[in-house]
Amino acid sequence: MMAVNAFKIKKELTKDDRLQQRDFLSELIIKLIKKDATDDADSHTLIKVDPEDKGKCAYCAQKKKSKSSAHYYCPGCKQHLHADCYSIHHTGLRIHVVRSSKKGKGGKR
């Protein structure tokens, strides 16, 4: 009902007799889908926090794993997460985060 009313208001304000309701609704749906996808992608990121702001990993707490405090935060979830747990928490897939070795090219890990 709101979409129909929005169409009537736009048609009245623009004085466009060629504007069709189906075209207006299609454009509205596309804009809503794009906005939702953009908002969701932008809000879920992994941000490194200061050591004093670290907290317990939400994924580890849910799985009852005992791990140290998480140094990362996801503003979309409003939860602390380990770098390794971030991908599992958001996608359900285990993606290992590779960290660079401090021993150099010839050293063993």
Report the C-alpha dihedral over residues 63, 67, 73, 75, rounded to 10 degrees: 20
Q: Mean pLDDT over residues 42-62, rounded? A: 83
Looking at every residue in the chain, the average pLDDT score rounds to 75
Percent share of the chain, pLDDT over 90: 0
| C-alpha span between 25 and 6 (Å, rounded) | 9
Report the C-alpha dihedral over residues 73, 75, 77, 79, rounded to 10 degrees: 30
Residue 85, pLDDT score: 84
In order, the DSSP letters of 48-107 are E--GGG-B--HHHHHTT-----BSEEETTTTEEE-HHHHHHHHHS---PPP---SS-SSS
Residue 86, pLDDT score: 81
pLDDT at 30 over 70: yes
- The pTM of this model reads 0.47
